[in-house]
Amino acid sequence: MKTNIKISLFILLGLLTFSCSTSKKTATPKRDTAIVTNAPDYKQIKKEINSKGSEFYYPELLRRFQAADTTLNLDQLRHFYYGTATRSEYDPYKMAKIDALREAFEKDTPSKEDWEKAAREIDKELETDPTNIRFHLYKHIIYSNLYGPESEKTFNAHNQVVMLLSAVTSTGDGSSKEKAFHVISVADEYGILEIFGLSLAMQSLVEDKGQSYDVMDLQENKYGLKSMYFNITASMEAMNKMFGF
């Protein structure tokens, strides 16, 4: 990005522990004792999100998430995020139209009109791709520039990033295949790297015991991290199904 974005990506490192002194409520999903960095059970999640009597009924989770409802607990967030990969409309490789977004980010000093165009574009994309972490991150940046970092719109966008990141980080710490972050799209991998201010050196696909992993070798960083592991089995299975494999 060429533009001097008014919000630093490094600020977002505090997303999971951020607290606000205003009356606004920041998302701090409580970790249920039954959830301890484990892989999502897609079969069970699919069953529960399609049950109208369940607290995990997908249309209701979607409504609450889009409203940036900070009372969603971690189990509900996991069902919302990973449940998206069990839906018939799930398409992890969908091509997004984000020309206005690219133009705004490439400018040294984007205008208000540039940010407004980017906001309309990203909002439209999120209507059909509601769990895209990278797009929610961009939405937060756009809203911060358009409405100000203290606005309600920006605050809600911040909380949506927090909630999605909470779901993913409940599955592991990304340090190995066994502790890989489970994600449902490649865009989410890059979104997480951007949130933590990490740059990619090389990406490789690894297959092991029926699971697919993206191993992201990282450029030198202040955390001393060499690699980050992502379990991408859900998106790979969707691609294989698409091509009849």
129 pLDDT above the threshold of 60: yes
The band of 27, judged by pLDDT with boundaries at 50, 70 and 90, is low
Domain residue limits, the chain: 36-242
**pLDDT category of residue 89 using cuts at 50, 70 and 90:** very high
Q: What is the mean pLDDT of residues 125-151?
A: 96
Tell me the sheet residues that pair with 216.
Answer: 203, 228
Q: At what angle do helices 152-169 and 74-83 cross, to 10 degrees?
A: 80
The predicted pLDDT at position 6 comes to 32
Distance between CA atoms of residues 101 and 104, nearest Å: 5
Burial class (CB in 10 A: 0-12, 13-18, 19+), 31: middle
**Cα–Cα distance measured from residue 217 to residue 203, given in angstroms and rounded to the nearest whole number:** 6
DSSP-assigned letters across all residues of 39-100? ---HHHHHHHHT-TTSTT-HHHHHHHHHTT-TT--HHHHHHHHHHGGGSTT--TTPPP--HH
pTM above 0.95, yes or no: no
Instruction: Give the pLDDT mean for 102-123.
Output: 95
Q: Does residue 187 register a pLDDT over 60?
A: yes
Report the pLDDT averaged over residues 195-208: 95
Residue 238: is its pLDDT beyond 80?
A: yes
For residue 29, the model assigns a pLDDT of: 60
Q: Is residue 39 scored above 80 in pLDDT?
A: yes
What is the predicted pLDDT for the residue at 95? Answer: 84
Residue 117's pLDDT band (boundaries 50, 70, 90)? Answer: very high
Instruction: Examine the pLDDT at 19 and tell me if it is beyond 60.
Output: no
According to DSSP, residue 218 is labeled E
Percent of the chain with pLDDT over 90: 78
Per-residue three-class SS string for 91-147: CCCCCCCCHHHHHHHHCCCCCHHHHHHHHHHHHHHHHHCCCCHHHHHHHHHHHHHHH
Task: Give the integer Cα–Cα distance in Å for 18 and 37.
Answer: 21
Kindly state the average pLDDT of the residues 133-141: 96
pLDDT band for position 90 (cuts 50, 70, 90): very high
Give the pairing of strands 181-182 and 200-208: unpaired
Neighbours of 52 (CB within 10 A): 8
State the pLDDT at residue 165: 96
Q: What is the mean pLDDT of residues 80-97?
A: 92
3-class secondary-structure state, position 165: helix
Convert the pLDDT of each residue in 43-84 to its tens digit.
999 999 999 999 999 999 999 999 999 999 999 999 999 999
Residue where the block lists tokens 């809203």: 143
| Cα–Cα distance measured from residue 58 to residue 83, given in angstroms and rounded to the nearest whole number | 7
